[in-house]
Chains A and B, each alone.
Chain A
């Protein structure tokens, strides 16, 4: 598989206030995100996961090392628009990323900035709204929508630019359980059906379980990297980072302590039920 985003020896420090000495965050991080993959980046507050998200489309630029998107260096001013068109970034608070009061006009904002002709914009807007299942809300007011719907509109706004990669920075942190499910289902469908590369940044391990690959970060370092099954097997390391285990994993671990091991190791509730039934029927 070919990588869409390639990070080499990334270095970055941030300053809390002016004239203060910069605090180093990343000291030589290397990662590559493969085309069409679904990667979850897990980490607690201050782990650097949101900063990493902003590195992926050139909103923040590295102090050292390189970030390349489809071979384009993010520090290259001339490819800035092309990079942002390729890697769409969705933020945590849906209220603060919607520009217009009308759904379809907001979704049109991105393609309008790209200078596309009107009928092409119309096509893309309808397509994007369809993809997030919000087409029937096209002429609705954006402020009357639920949190989950607003976040799906924000995703549609990015999709309308036809990105090949979607980076979502804690998109469900401000939503209720119903909204979370709506957003996650949408993201998963976009990955499966349209082949869009997804990088989901989250601190919920349940959400990371949906991905093909799971990266755990702490203090700007990659702590664990692998399939959710591989990563979730590192029980002690995960517990040290303070991330909360999904209930299914918790149960499986506690059963393990008692000498009962569930096969295969469950990450979701449904898997857990299946594994329990299998063990009990033995």
Chain B
């Protein structure tokens, strides 16, 4: 059950996207998500979808891997779709039954919103699939480095993230072991109401917490033995540098951006795009 978590995992590869600078990848991912929310009509949203499709092809990671990340968020997509369909009222009225009114505008918004959430998830899994956790934290460390001037310990923050990412699979494995052990002693985890099931988790969480503390202390010893003494004077095996790939992707991203704004403006009238421009 817990093994289904694919989000946040690295998928080894040697494609163009793998070779991009992780800092550029983080910034582009954020820009892309913003872009998918700016896209206000079918054409511009399709443009964004095609752009992501192209990047997925370039990443040389099977499409199946991306679709897998969508599975856990299907309930969220359905829920937001229902809420959007019920609460947005614009355009033609399609269904009117007691207090339920579904309009064409509401349905459209529901479809747009679902597409955006799917794009958001796939885009961020692209980032984690093609970037090793260390590269990721390294990039975050560099991007946040201006915060050093307000006395924020950016290095420790990045190190904590690296270790957290490293221990997610280990702790999942451990949780499963403890759950089996407790089940073998007659613990009932699957039946009963919500409260009962939450209570049933306590005998799993306590041993997990204790063992995590032991792990943390052993890891700290091992890190000290390997000469770790904070971020001072530390170098990295891989230097980050922006290259041609990053420049080309910046141009591509800018082109999509212009395309989206253009599609928004042409199809929804100048006023609408001005409104969006005003919001931004």
Contacts and interface: CB of A to CB of B under 8 A. Distances in A.
Interface of A: 54, 57, 59, 81, 84-85, 88-89, 91, 93, 95-102, 104-105, 108-118, 121-122, 125, 139-143, 154, 157-158, 161
Q: Classify chain B's interface size.
A: 20 to 34
Contacts of B185: none
Given A81-B229, A113-B228, A125 B162 contact: no
Given A113-B229, A113-B234, A117-B235, A101 B222 contact: no
B225 A100 contact: no
Interface stretch (B37-45, B47-55, B75-83, B163-171): B163-171
Nearest to A97: B222
Please indicate which of the listed interface residues A99, A110, A116, A154 has the most CB atoms of chain B within 10 Å of its own CB: A99
B63 interface: no
B22 interface: no
A157 B226 CA distance: 8
B134 A143 contact: no
B168 to A, nearest CB: 9
B10 A84 contact: no
Given A93-B218, A97-B219, A84 B237 contact: no
B166 A99 contact: yes
A140 B222 CA distance: 21
A143 B133 CA distance: 13
B224 interface: yes
Contact of A96 (B9, B215, B228, B234): B215
A59 B224 contact: yes
Given A118-B237, A142-B166, 19 more contacts: A81-B227, A81-B229, A89-B225, A96-B218, A99-B162, A99-B223, A100-B166, A101-B132, A101-B133, A101-B134, A101-B165, A104-B237, A108-B236, A114-B227, A140-B12, A141-B9, A143-B166, A154-B222, A157-B226
A105 B134 contact: yes
Contacts of A117: 235
Nearest to A157: B226
A110 B224 contact: no
Interface of B: 9-10, 12, 132-134, 162-163, 165-166, 169-170, 215, 218-219, 221-229, 233-239
A98 B238 CA distance: 18
Contact of B219 (A89, A99, A141): A99
Contact of B226 (A54, A84, A93, A105): A84
Contact of B227 (A97, A113, A143, A154): A113
A101 B235 contact: no
Contacts of B10: 101-102, 141
Nearest to B163: A99
Tell which of B12, B133, B134, B215 has the most Cβ of chain A within 10 Å.
B134
B225 to A, nearest CB: 4
A115 B237 contact: no
A95 B215 CA distance: 8
B226 A96 contact: no
Contacts of A89: 222, 225
B223 A121 contact: no
Given A91-B221, A96-B218, A122 B12 contact: no
A81 B166 CA distance: 25
A84 B218 contact: no
B226 A161 contact: yes
Contacts of A105: 132, 134, 237
Nearest to B169: A143
Contact of B235 (A81, A85, A121): A121
A110 B227 contact: yes
A267 B229 CA distance: 43
A241 to B, nearest CB: 27
A118 B234 CA distance: 11
Contacts of A59: 221, 224-225
A143 B165 CA distance: 11
Given A84-B227, A99-B219, A108 B166 contact: no
A110 B12 CA distance: 23
A217 to B, nearest CB: 21
Contacts of A108: 236-237
Nearest to B133: A101
A141 B9 CA distance: 9
Given A112-B236, A115-B235, A102 B170 contact: no
A102 B134 contact: yes
Nearest to B211: A96
A115 to B, nearest CB: 4
Contacts of A142: 166
A49 B170 CA distance: 28
23 contacts: A89-B225, A93-B218, A95-B215, A97-B218, A97-B219, A99-B162, A99-B166, A99-B226, A100-B133, A101-B165, A102-B134, A108-B237, A109-B228, A110-B226, A112-B234, A113-B227, A113-B228, A118-B236, A121-B235, A121-B237, A125-B237, A141-B10, A143-B169
A203 to B, nearest CB: 19
A24 B44 CA distance: 75
Contact of A143 (B132, B170, B215): B170
